Structure 1
Amino acid sequence: MSGKAKHPQKLLLFRLSGPRLFGLGTLKIREILPFQRLTRLPHSHQAVLGTAVFRGSAVPVIDMAAAVGYPPLSREEQALGSIIVTDIQRREVGFLVRGVQRIVETDWKAVTPPPRALGPRAFITGMLDVDGDIIQLLDVELLLARVYPESLETQEVTLTDVQRETLKSLNILLVDDSQVARKQLCDVLDKEDIGYQVTSHGDEALQILLRDNTLGRPVDILVSDIEMPGLDGYELAFAVRDNSTLKQPYIILHTSLNSEMSLSYANQVGANEALTKFDAQELLQAMLRGASQDRS
């Protein structure tokens, strides 16, 4: 491979409370709607305002400000707000925000990880300077997990003893900037007693790949998120494929986006497979396909 993997991303900027700007990748967004009358949902999370009708289907609408810990929007603010309909982790969800600003184009290399001082409960995956404004990128996977905690329950998977031992023999590296996604990945392998390494950054993942290759125990399976600050999944896959000194791992890129475009581009940069988060059985079967290729 030659050249350079460039895949600029577009971000929708919006406000929740006060002047601070937040960002959400446009690939996650299906549509932006003006506020509409909502149908209440009994026994739902306090941040769930109700459901809206989107293309003939009922979509839950979450007050994003309330979900991340800000005061909920008043009725007046709701009426002036916008509903961002997203397609994340195989479900459509609407987020009500106070004000949509504009769409900007950026490169994930310009995104920096959030300060550690924010702690693990922060709903931020990265920060970006746009024309002097510091944009906070929201971890919508963590947000959804707080509103729908049942989504964090470890899925039941079925492996034969041979399949389990096959995966145990591999050097598996997991990369994801979302703490929720990392937990889901780790829980699946922990439940099957399968060893792995894990990191939240693409740059660190590349260093692990280079280090393990030098030590004579190269990574066999690389499972990486696509959207990450610094070195994103596309660039990580490209960097691995472009390095002739590396024993090439089986690369599985996964994303919360239900986007054919993002999955197609994953193949172009050298990934063996691209999966939409999150299905534990699909992930393990993809790893087994990688193990089979490695031994062929």
Structure 2
Amino acid sequence: MKQSSQQSQGLLLFKLTLQQTFALGTLKVREIIPYQHLTILPQSHPYVIGSTPFRGKTIPIIDMASAVGYRSIQKEEYKKCFIIVTDCQRQLVGFMVRKIDRIMECNWRNIHPAPTAVGRSAYVLGVTEFDNQMVQLIDIEMLLSHIYPTSEDHLHANIDATDRARLREHRILVVDDSSVARRQLSEALEYVNVPFEVCADGSTALDMMLKSTATDNSIDILVSDIEMPGLDGYELAFEVRSHPNIAKSYIILHTSLSSEISVDRAHQVGANEALTKFDAAELIQGMLRGANHIENGTVSPGVSGR
């Protein structure tokens, strides 16, 4: 295992207004392209302003400023704008923004949860500083969930009584900084009537896991997001593997990232699996694999073979 859990991910900085700087983690960004002609999509969501070809596919383009509550980008502004193509939650989507600033290196421990003063911007996951200015990290999952809601088929899984009983024998902790993701995780586990615990950040999760060993009721299965302010999922997995008392937990990194990079990195930090959000059936099957490894004493670092 590597001696460091540091993730080689930066932040892409961009403008939605003239003054405020926003950011996305670079692992979510597939490409940045200048504005190109948009084809109107009939009966599309109001924030979807059209579609455009991208590497052999047609992708929807979302006015991000309008979607998060700021002034819409006007047609006369389009030619000066840029499109950020993201690979997130199993889909390619383009977000039109008014300006691209730069890509900056970032230690995600320096990103802090959004203060209440952020106010109306419910789409902000966290904040950091660059050149003495506040940078707001956009919650892409929440934004996409409002435009493309997850179907019931993906939120609900069916398991038999035997599998349910197996999962109920194991203590499960899920951690995600996105309120949307926590609701989805909760609904998926409540639907199959499996108890679980939930928290919103990696530091709290690590503390819960360490404390659980004192009561001889250790957390067996950890399901964690990857991109989180403070202690991110990669670092959380690395820390779990570094503490002998909790190192035998089964770790599933559950991420909106769709690239193979997330799987490779999960392997490096000692996670057992990396799953792309959101498919309840895949998640439950991952937990059942974890239960099997826990029961057989065969948990080992690395991405599990299917």
TM-score of the superposed pair, with normalisation by structure 2: 0.93
CA-to-partner distance for each residue in 1:24-64, whole Å, 9 max, x for gaps?
A: 11111111111111111111111100111001211000000
Residue 215 (structure 1) aligned with residue 252 (structure 2)? no
Aligned to 1:88: 88
Amino acid at match of 1:178: S
Secondary structure of 1:223's aligned partner:
strand
Question: 1:19 and 1:166 mapped to 2: Cα distance?
Answer: 53
Deviates more, 1:23-32 or 1:134-143: 23-32
> CA 1:2/1:18 → structure 2, altered by over 3 Å: closer, same or farther?
closer
TM-score of the superposed pair, with normalisation by structure 1: 0.96
Secondary structure of 2:136's aligned partner:
strand
Aligned to 2:242: 242
Percent of pairs identical after alignment? 49
> CA 1:152/1:176 → structure 2, altered by over 3 Å: closer, same or farther?
farther
Aligned to 1:37: 37
CA contact (8 A) 1:81 1:97 kept: yes
Unaligned runs of 5+ in 1: none
Offset of residue 147 of structure 1? 1.4
Question: 2:175 and 2:120 mapped to 1: Cα distance?
Answer: 17
Question: 1:116 and 1:187 mapped to 2: Cα distance?
Answer: 26
CA contact (8 A) 2:202 2:231 kept: yes
Unaligned runs of 5+ in 2: 297-306
CA-to-partner distance for each residue in 1:198-229, whole Å, 9 max, x for gaps?
A: 01100000111011111111001000011111
Aligned to 2:187: 187
Aligned to 2:279: 279
> CA 1:285/1:120 → structure 2, altered by over 3 Å: closer, same or farther?
farther
Offset of residue 95 of structure 1? 0.3
Question: 1:120 and 1:290 mapped to 2: Cα distance?
Answer: 40
Question: 2:3 and 2:283 mapped to 1: Cα distance?
Answer: 30
> CA 1:232/1:144 → structure 2, altered by over 3 Å: closer, same or farther?
same
Question: 1:46 and 1:257 mapped to 2: Cα distance?
Answer: 25
> CA 1:13/1:76 → structure 2, altered by over 3 Å: closer, same or farther?
same
Secondary structure of 2:113's aligned partner:
coil
Aligned to 1:108: 108
Aligned to 2:8: 8
CA contact (8 A) 2:69 2:121 kept: no
Question: 1:153 and 1:118 mapped to 2: Cα distance?
Answer: 34
Aligned to 2:173: 173
Amino acid at match of 1:110: N
Aligned to 1:69: 69
Question: 1:114 and 1:73 mapped to 2: Cα distance?
Answer: 25
Offset of residue 117 of structure 1? 5.0
Aligned to 1:233: 233
Residue 137 (structure 1) aligned with residue 132 (structure 2)? no
Question: 2:251 and 2:266 mapped to 1: Cα distance?
Answer: 10
Question: 2:197 and 2:116 mapped to 1: Cα distance?
Answer: 21
Amino acid at match of 2:242: D
Question: 2:262 and 2:200 mapped to 1: Cα distance?
Answer: 20
Secondary structure of 2:155's aligned partner:
coil
CA contact (8 A) 1:154 1:184 kept: no
CA contact (8 A) 1:125 1:139 kept: yes
CA-to-partner distance for each residue in 1:163-221, whole Å, 9 max, x for gaps?
A: 01111221100011111111111110011111111011000001110111111110010
Aligned to 1:160: 160
Runs of 4+, deviation exceeding 4 Å = 117-121, 150-154
Paired positions, count:
296
> CA 1:203/1:163 → structure 2, altered by over 3 Å: closer, same or farther?
same
CA-to-partner distance for each residue in 1:94-151, whole Å, 9 max, x for gaps?
A: 0000001111010111110111454697001111111212110000010011112355
